[in-house]
Structure 1
Amino acid sequence: MKRILVVIGCLLVFGCASPPPLTSLTLFFSPEQISLTSEQQRKISQFLADNPYHQLIAKVAPADLANPFDALMQGQKRIHAVSKLAESQSIPLHLEYAPSQIADTLVLQRQSP
């Protein structure tokens, strides 16, 4: 009985001590950046690996450019770069253009069940 309580206690302590899985990832871009840096690719790949069976949403904001059309095009190129990375891992992404989001950001989120 004492051993069972010790095992249950250890499981609770170590189970509660492990960090919760990330449910979102925010990336920042420079205004002229259209491709992903190696660090951004690593972070996205890790996020996708941690959430392989969840529907993910990628929300991208326009670039901070004076011309709205160019800003939209930058956002589309960023979405394309992220979706290519997700496709390579066979993980579905729901892509959203978020014009009210902070400029030059991309947010990956796990949809809640």
Structure 2
Amino acid sequence: MKRIICLLSCLLIWGCSSTKAPSSLTLFFSPEQISLTAEQQRKITDFLNQNPYHQLTAQVAPAALENPFQALIQGQKRIQAVNKLSATQDIPLHLEYAPQQTADTLILKRQ
């Protein structure tokens, strides 16, 4: 009986102490922003460090610009900035352009 209580206590303590890595990260951009700020780079790096062995998807929305072509170009430049950061850590990203998503957002998801 003592062993069972000890085992259950150990499992409870281990379960409470282990933390789960977040499964997604949402970043917001200003409409004219194409590069990552230092804070955004830090958040992405932390997310990549917490999910190094998972298949990750980066969904980027167009910029809130009146010219649809310029909005598309802004989105592509943002994808390139995130892709460069993931390439430095050798973590592959599945890149997606998400025009239905809220404008000026980027979502990193673990699959």
Query: CA offset at residue 93 of structure 1?
Result: 0.3
- In 2, distance between residues paired with 1:40 and 1:86? 13
Aligned residues: percent identity? 69
**Partner SS, residue 33 of structure 2:** coil
Other-structure match for 1:5: 5
Q: How many residues align?
A: 111
- Length-normalised TM-score, structure 1: 0.91
- What does 1:1-113 align with in structure 2 at a 5 Å threshold? 1-2=1-2, 5-16=5-16, 18-111=18-111
- In 2, distance between residues paired with 1:91 and 1:34? 21
**Partner SS, residue 47 of structure 1:** helix
**Partner SS, residue 8 of structure 2:** helix
Cα deviations by residue, 1:52-95 (Å, 9 ceiling, x for unpaired): 01110000000000000000000000000000000000000000
Letter in 2 for 1:12: L
- In 1, distance between residues paired with 2:63 and 2:18? 37
Letter in 2 for 1:44: I
- In 2, distance between residues paired with 1:30 and 1:52? 28
**Partner SS, residue 90 of structure 1:** coil
Unaligned runs of 5+ in 2: none
- Note the aligned Cα RMSD (angstroms): 1.5
- Length-normalised TM-score, structure 2: 0.92
- In 1, distance between residues paired with 2:19 and 2:104? 28
Query: CA offset at residue 46 of structure 1?
Result: 0.5
* Structure 1, 53-62 or 1-10: larger mean CA deviation: 1-10
**Partner SS, residue 57 of structure 1:** strand
Query: CA offset at residue 4 of structure 1?
Result: 5.2
Letter in 1 for 2:81: A
